[in-house]
């Protein structure tokens, strides 16, 4: 297996345990990737179980096309299309939804995808290479203010404005079209950086999150997942970025609280509509051994919630 297709699933056993898999259950893997979680999930399903996997990356879908397990179906779609995908298949409720967020190792390690400054390649960064603008195309027309906002909001980049101005100045002499060009521009504009971190890390991360609308996609899928879970069904989310984890944490927390009603209504606490979720355990991080074996696991955080009987 080449480096371009290798991928080590993070928190694999922990995620499968958290799903509390029923042998005859119906499950969704919203981020197929290279199938690590899906393969392990199928191993725990019985003959009547079912797994529906989604991925918006055509290369990921191509990697799973050879799977012949009749319990498994892989669809080329973003996970925000969950309602549509399940509706087309007549599935009204599922027993678990797994989301392994962020970028996969094959996407980072394939220089042609343009997601890493380790390779000088076309500045693409799209997870779905069949549609949408590339980062190079967006940078060619975005204003300094727009670039600054993206770098600041999605990358928490202190030097966002200086980087944006450097990009605007550079493109007067031609498009900023490659990862190498962008990394060099950022490196010159960033005055200081945390030890061990490349000056362009935050900028590349911000542009990738923005061009793929990753946070917006996450905000769309979470309520859909809760609506589709049967009572006792589990939602398991693995995040790799503080912005993602913040969204997941707040969503699960809010859904695990009773609905708030006007304070003047004469109702007791036990008369309030019950919450739709209950959180399961605390946020879980990879062990030291897992991080040592797979350094990309170091920022992972897994959160779990279970659907209640509430309508």
pLDDT in tens, 271-284: 667 899 999 999 99
User: What is the extent of the structural domain holding 218?
Assistant: 12-106+214-307
CATH code of the domain containing 21: 3.40.50.150
Residues 100 and 219 grouped into a single domain: yes
CATH code of the domain containing 154: 1.10.150.170
What pairs with residue 284 in β-bridges?
302
Number of domains observed in the structure of the chain: 2
**Number of other CB atoms surrounding residue 162 within 10 Å:** 17
Residues 252 and 303 grouped into a single domain: yes
Tokens of 207: 């542009």
| Binding-site residues | 35-37, 55, 79, 100, 107
Q: At what angle do helices 201-211 and 179-189 cross, to 10 degrees?
A: 130
Q: Is residue 113 in a domain?
A: no
| pLDDT confidence of residue 266 | 60
| pLDDT confidence of residue 116 | 82
Run of H or E including 302: strand 301-307
| pLDDT confidence of residue 177 | 93
Residues 182 and 100 grouped into a single domain: no
Residues 192 and 228 grouped into a single domain: no
Nearest in space to 24 (alpha carbons), one of 71, 68, 86: 71
Residues 61 and 184 grouped into a single domain: no
Burial 211-225, CB ≥16 within 10 A → b, else e: bbebbebbebbbebb
Q: At what angle do helices 214-228 and 242-255 cross, to 10 degrees?
A: 30
For the segment 59-100, what is each residue's pLDDT rounded down to a tens digit? 999 999 989 999 999 999 999 999 999 999 999 999 999 999
H, E, C per residue of 30-65: CCCCCCHHHHHHHHHCCCCCEEEEEECCHHHHHHHC
Q: Which long-range contacts (CB under 8 A, 24 or more apart) does 163-170 make?
A: 163/189, 163/190, 163/203, 165/189, 167/139, 168/143, 168/144
Residues 263 and 200 grouped into a single domain: no
Report how far residue 193's alpha carbon sits from residue 198's, in angstroms, rounded to the nearest whole number.
7
Residues 156 and 98 grouped into a single domain: no
Q: Is residue 114 in a domain?
A: no
pLDDT in tens, the chain (311 residues): 333 345 678 899 999 999 999 999 999 999 999 899 999 999 999 999 999 999 999 999 999 998 999 999 999 999 999 999 999 999 999 999 999 998 777 777 777 787 788 888 999 999 999 999 999 999 999 999 999 999 999 999 999 999 999 999 999 988 899 999 999 999 999 977 777 788 999 999 999 999 999 999 999 999 999 999 999 999 999 999 999 999 999 999 999 987 655 556 665 556 667 899 999 999 999 999 999 988 888 899 999 999 998 76
Q: Is residue 272 in a domain?
A: yes
Residues 22 and 71 grouped into a single domain: yes
Q: Is residue 121 in a domain?
A: no
Nearest in space to 80 (alpha carbons), one of 217, 212, 185: 217
Q: Is residue 6 in a domain?
A: no
Residues 200 and 254 grouped into a single domain: no
| E strand map for 61-177 | 72-76, 94-100
| Binding-site residues for S-adenosyl-L-methionine | 35-37, 55, 79, 100, 107
Residues 241 and 200 grouped into a single domain: no
Residues 222 and 192 grouped into a single domain: no
pTM of the model: 0.90
Q: Is residue 182 in a domain?
A: yes
Look at residues 176, 211, 246 and tell me which one is the last residue of a structural domain: 211
Residues 235 and 280 grouped into a single domain: yes
N- to C-terminal Cα distance for the chain? 47
- In Å, how far are 227, 245, 265, 294, 299 from 287, measured between CA atoms? 32, 18, 48, 10, 11
Look at residues 167, 191, 211 and tell me which one is the last residue of a structural domain: 211
Q: Is residue 118 in a domain?
A: no
Look at residues 192, 211, 230 and tell me which one is the last residue of a structural domain: 211
Q: Is residue 273 in a domain?
A: yes
Q: What are phi and psi of 240, to 5 degrees?
A: -125, 5
């Amino acid at each position: 297996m080449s480096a371009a297709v290798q991928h080590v699933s993070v928190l694999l056993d922990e995620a499968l345990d958290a799903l509390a898999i029923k042998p005859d259950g119906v499950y969704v893997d919203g981020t197929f990737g290279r199938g690590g979680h899906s393969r392990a999930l199928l191993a725990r399903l019985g003959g009547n179980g079912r797994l529906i996997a989604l991925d918006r990356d055509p290369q990921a879908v191509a990697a799973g096309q050879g799977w012949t397990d009749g319990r498994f179906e892989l669809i080329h779609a973003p996970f925000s299309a969950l309602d549509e995908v399940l509706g087309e298949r007549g599935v009204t409720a599922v027993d678990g939804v797994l989301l392994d967020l962020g970028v996969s190792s094959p996407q980072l390690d394939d220089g042609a995808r343009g997601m890493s400054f380790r390779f000088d390649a076309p500045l693409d960064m799209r997870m779905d290479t069949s549609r949408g603008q590339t980062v190079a195309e967006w940078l060619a027309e975005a204003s300094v203010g727009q670039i600054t906002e993206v770098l600041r909001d999605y990358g928490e980049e202190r030097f966002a404005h200086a980087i944006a101005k450097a990009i605007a100045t550079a493109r007067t002499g031609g498009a900023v079209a490659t990862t190498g060009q962008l990394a060099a521009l950022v490196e010159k504009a960033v005055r200081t950086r945390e030890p061990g971190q490349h000056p362009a890390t935050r900028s590349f991360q911000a542009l990738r999150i923005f061009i793929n609308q990753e946070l917006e996609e996450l905000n769309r899928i979470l309520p859909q997942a809760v609506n589709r879970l049967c009572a006792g069904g589990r939602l398991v989310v693995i995040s790799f970025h503080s912005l993602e984890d913040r969204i997941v944490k707040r969503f699960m927390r809010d859904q695990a609280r009773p609905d708030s009603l006007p304070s003047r209504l004469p109702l007791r606490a036990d008369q309030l509509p019950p919450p739709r979720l209950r959180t399961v355990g605390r946020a879980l991080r990879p062990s030291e051994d897992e991080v040592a074996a797979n350094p990309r696991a170091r920022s992972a955080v897994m959160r779990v919630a279970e659907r209640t009987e509430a309508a």
